[in-house]
Structure 1
Amino acid sequence: MDLILTSLDIAMFAVLCAALMAGFPVAFTLAGTALAFALIGWLFGAQLSLGALPSRIFGVMTNEVLIAVPLFVFMGVMLERSKVAEDLLEAMAGLFGGRRGGLAISVTLVGALLAASTGIVGATVVTMGLMSLPTMLKHGYSPRLASGAIAASGTLGQIIPPSIVLVILGDQLSNAYRRAQLDAGNFAPDSVSVGDLFAAALIPGLLLVCLYIAYLATVAVLRPQDAPALPRVVSFGAGRAARSLVPPVMLIVAVLGSILGGIATPTEAASVGAVGALLLASLRSDGTARSLWSTMPVVLSGLAAVCLLALTTLMDLRVARDAIPFADMGGIVMAVVLCAVIAWGLFVALRRVWRADVLAPVVHATARITAMIFAIVIGASIFSLVFRDLGGEELVHAMLSDLPGGTLGAVLAVMAAMFVLGFFLDFLEITFVVVPLVAPVLLKMPMPDGTLMSPVWLAVMMAVNLQTSFLTPPFGFALFYLRGVAPDSVRTSDIYRGIVPFVGIQLLVLLLLWFAPRLATWLPGVIYG
């Protein structure tokens, strides 16, 4: 009986992996496997703590960090459905298309902007594949180079903030870091926020973009036949370029800058992003009214939102005070007026996107994706609770501690396991199943300089590793997304061979992060101390 009890944790994880790879729904597989093995463990005398399950689920549903998830999803889906990406690509092609490799560089830059706007890998790869791949092939681009550039730029949503991956990783690693410090005897543990992860991922994400562009520029010089200049570039004035580029860039700066600047929490910034995406979509979907008067409510609403953010940093707008100074009272009145302007613009924007048949599909998609994410969160909570009760945490700790090579061996083993799982599972399953098991153990291990492992560095390593997994043939998810929308003239072998240099760039960045952890830890230290 003892032998059965000690082996239930291994059997539980094996059954979970088999069921997931067989294609069963993730959330129900997580919860069903956990409850089945909880019953088996109870029959054999295991001590279970399922009584804590309701409080864990309630904690998930009231987690303020996770509220940012549906808001970022809404932001991404709204920008995707409102054709903002098409305007971005046209603007970039008009600016760079006349140079060799310019169209591929434009695709990479647009992919980076979409990644910072949406954070949804599948949507970005499909959107870029549908819009840019036929154009690149038509103008003589190599199918391998075109496919590689699109797939690689589409996965930047894994690492460039604001990213849903980083939001969920931040929540999981915050809990793991707190547990690791409590186990080490620190009963006043430091916290890890999503803002820390956003700051940590910014430099590696931009480094990836720069390396992608450097590779494409090198190919354009060495093999100009693979990346020719467009024979005739459509005239693209500065005004039209500004109208296409400035609003999305301002939205990204507002969302990311408010988080990094300490003006707003990730959840508050996500709400700003959702409102901004709605306003941008109303301008893009308004195909009938182009006059200044018709766009004024939306423009004024956007300006009012920016002014309101600035006002919150300059003045104390709390109304629940015994005495309010005259200056603060004026700020409160101004804030009320700004909120009224925002509400007016939102009403106009909602009416326009509804009439353009954009709002309903976006709301449906947001509800479907959000329900899927939170169902997985609840299933993963049940699984991790039962897995720990059956001794899984001790098993993982013993396995990682006994590996040769110390911290390096443990990190390599975890990264290799996550890399392989990335062939078959989405980032949600990996984040909710693997991270809670391995992160508390890894965060107790020393780095080469003698300090304990940084949680933000570990998060960035995991994010880049998963991004590499999604790109690697033959099972990378991004390759399947691109294969589904690529023309028949593009062979699967072209996609696989075209992505190899970009996978090499990803691995190079992983090596740089290992040998130079300050690429991830420097900016959070500067911003948050």
Structure 2
Amino acid sequence: MIEWIPFLLFLCVCAALMLGYPVAFTLAGVSLWFAGIGIISGHFNPQDLLYISERLFGVYSKNTLVAVPLFIFMGVMLERTKLAEELLENMAQACGRLPAGLGISVVLVGTLLAASTGIVGATVVTMGLMSLPTMLKQGYCPKLATGTICATGTLGQIIPPSIALVLLGDILSNAYQQAQLQQGIFNAAPVSVGDLFMGAVVPGFILVLLYLIYLLATGVFKGATAPRVECESKAKSQLWLSILPPVMLIVLVLGSIISGLATPTEAAAVGALAATLLALAKKQLSLGILKGVMQTTTKITCMVFTILLGASIFSLVFIGYGGKELIEQFFATLPGGVFSAMLIVMVVIFLLGFILDFIEITFVVVPLVGPALLMMGVDPIWLGIMIALNLQTSFLTPPFGFALFYLRGVAPKSVKTSDIYRGVAPFIGIQVLLMTILALKPELVTWLPDAISAAR
């Protein structure tokens, strides 16, 4: 019975979260409660709790995590400018003559916005406020309009620079080093956030391309659901003027990381400064806006790091009860080896995506299953991309997908919730198709990081 305590701890945490208790304090509180009972009953070593301060100091002192508030600042600053709104208007005019041209422009603008902000909720809400009324006014089917916006908004989960990839990179680096140490390898190179960024480029491009193909096919064969929009002659010149700033920002941030000129933290600092200068150039920057951006950044950053604190305590107690060894034994005895282990982990993460945000899943689940999977020979970069895509799919899936709730909050009352649910179904199918392709062809993820590493 004692060996099942780690799973009982995990189930109690999930139950408490479903009751609506705060994530960070639930993780820490339930874990300490279990540790206290274990100390009284003699099943938990109280010395393990002494490592909490050392563990937290090691986590919070990492330079990689400094990139988190900087990327959040960049995203929030861009959200307060009218850059995306102007870009959407001009892109819609330029693509208007294409079948489903307005939908295509939403995907393209959403891709740039996702790459600029890396925050899923902000992208869904922003695109919903800007593009949904226009799409409905132009005669788009509510299912197609809402599905396109939800799917596009979740691109921030996989397209770099993504906050999810920054956090995953740090956790997977620790898991990879643990797995290598257990195998007697002491000089293994850590997995960097830049490696995950590079690994996400090709899958992200393929996903956007599949979205565009689907919309184009819908416009050709079901033109009534996605009517064309007339294009003004001045759209092309305005398009280039509006598209240049976000493209330059992406090149500046992502290009400096991939080329090795800057670390993710340094690139995030440059991106935050560039976003501020861009807002200043557009005359959108004031002391009030700057104060609001800094307050929002502080709130989100505090949430992330407080959850990290709770997750670290949970992980320490879970491991203290022998949970790490239990997971390794479970995976080792599974029929089917790596395939069965990956399938179970993906299903569990997918289901947890209904009740937990990517931050909690990254901090709680990945440290537990990551070392076991990596010891079985799974590539850490491929694993990180698969987890990010899996969570992105979970955020789209009814009835609990976070992206659906975000859009429901800003959609007009005339749009039914059932329209949103049915609208995302084709895009869920596309993402499952991409995950299947990556499972069969892992080199689509690992090729670019390997090529760039070899060229350096």
TM-score, normalized by length of structure 2? 0.97
Matched letter for residue 37 of structure 1: F
Q: Look up the match of 2:416.
A: 491
Q: CA-to-partner distance for each residue in 1:379-425, whole Å, 9 max, x for gaps?
A: 11111011100111112112222222111000000000000000111
Q: CA deviation at 1:237?
A: 4.3
Structure 2 spans left out of the alignment, 5+ residues: none
Calculate percent identity across the aligned residue pairs. 59
- The answer on 1:353 being equivalent to 2:286 is yes
Quote the Cα distance in structure 1 between the aligned partners of 2:239 and 2:110.
17
Secondary structure of the equivalent of 1:217? Answer: helix
Cα RMSD for the two superposed structures = 1.1
Q: Look up the match of 1:312.
A: none
Quote the Cα distance in structure 2 between the aligned partners of 1:368 and 1:236.
41
Q: CA-to-partner distance for each residue in 1:34-62, whole Å, 9 max, x for gaps?
A: 11111111112222411111111111221
Quote the Cα distance in structure 2 between the aligned partners of 1:422 and 1:6.
26
Q: Look up the match of 2:24.
A: 27
Q: CA deviation at 1:266?
A: 0.2
Matched letter for residue 37 of structure 2: I
Q: Look up the match of 2:258.
A: 260
Q: Look up the match of 1:381.
A: 312
CA contact (8 A) 1:82 1:285 kept: no
Quote the Cα distance in structure 2 between the aligned partners of 1:211 and 1:373.
32
Larger radius of gyration between Structure 1 and Structure 2: 1
Quote the Cα distance in structure 2 between the aligned partners of 1:473 and 1:216.
21
Q: Look up the match of 1:349.
A: none
Quote the Cα distance in structure 2 between the aligned partners of 1:237 and 1:100.
17
Q: Look up the match of 1:511.
A: 436
Q: CA deviation at 1:99?
A: 2.5
Q: CA deviation at 1:235?
A: 4.1
Quote the Cα distance in structure 1 between the aligned partners of 2:240 and 2:430.
32
Quote the Cα distance in structure 1 between the aligned partners of 2:3 and 2:439.
35
Q: CA deviation at 1:281?
A: 1.2
Matched letter for residue 139 of structure 1: Q
Matched letter for residue 60 of structure 1: V
Quote the Cα distance in structure 2 between the aligned partners of 1:285 and 1:501.
40
Q: Look up the match of 2:163.
A: 164
Q: CA-to-partner distance for each residue in 1:359-378, whole Å, 9 max, x for gaps?
A: 11111100000000000111
Q: CA deviation at 1:92?
A: 0.9
Secondary structure of the equivalent of 1:16? Answer: helix
Q: Look up the match of 1:180.
A: 179
Quote the Cα distance in structure 1 between the aligned partners of 2:240 and 2:277.
17
- The answer on 1:39 being equivalent to 2:36 is yes
Q: Look up the match of 2:273.
A: 275
CA contact (8 A) 1:173 1:436 kept: yes
Quote the Cα distance in structure 2 between the aligned partners of 1:513 and 1:171.
22
CA, structure 1 residues 396+100, in 2 after alignment: closer, same or farther (shift >3 Å)? same
Residue correspondences, number = 452
Q: CA-to-partner distance for each residue in 1:7-45, whole Å, 9 max, x for gaps?
A: 322221111010111111111111111111111111122
Q: CA deviation at 1:514?
A: 0.5
CA contact (8 A) 1:136 1:146 kept: yes
Q: Look up the match of 1:201.
A: 200
CA contact (8 A) 1:95 1:236 kept: no
Q: Look up the match of 2:241.
A: 243
Q: Look up the match of 1:284.
A: 282
Quote the Cα distance in structure 2 between the aligned partners of 1:266 and 1:239.
33
Quote the Cα distance in structure 2 between the aligned partners of 1:237 and 1:381.
52
Q: CA deviation at 1:285?
A: 3.2
Quote the Cα distance in structure 2 between the aligned partners of 1:404 and 1:220.
46
Q: Look up the match of 1:316.
A: none
Q: Look up the match of 1:422.
A: 353
CA contact (8 A) 2:94 2:235 kept: no
Q: CA deviation at 1:233?
A: 3.4
TM-score, normalized by length of structure 1? 0.84
Quote the Cα distance in structure 1 between the aligned partners of 2:130 and 2:62.
38
- The answer on 1:470 being equivalent to 2:386 is no
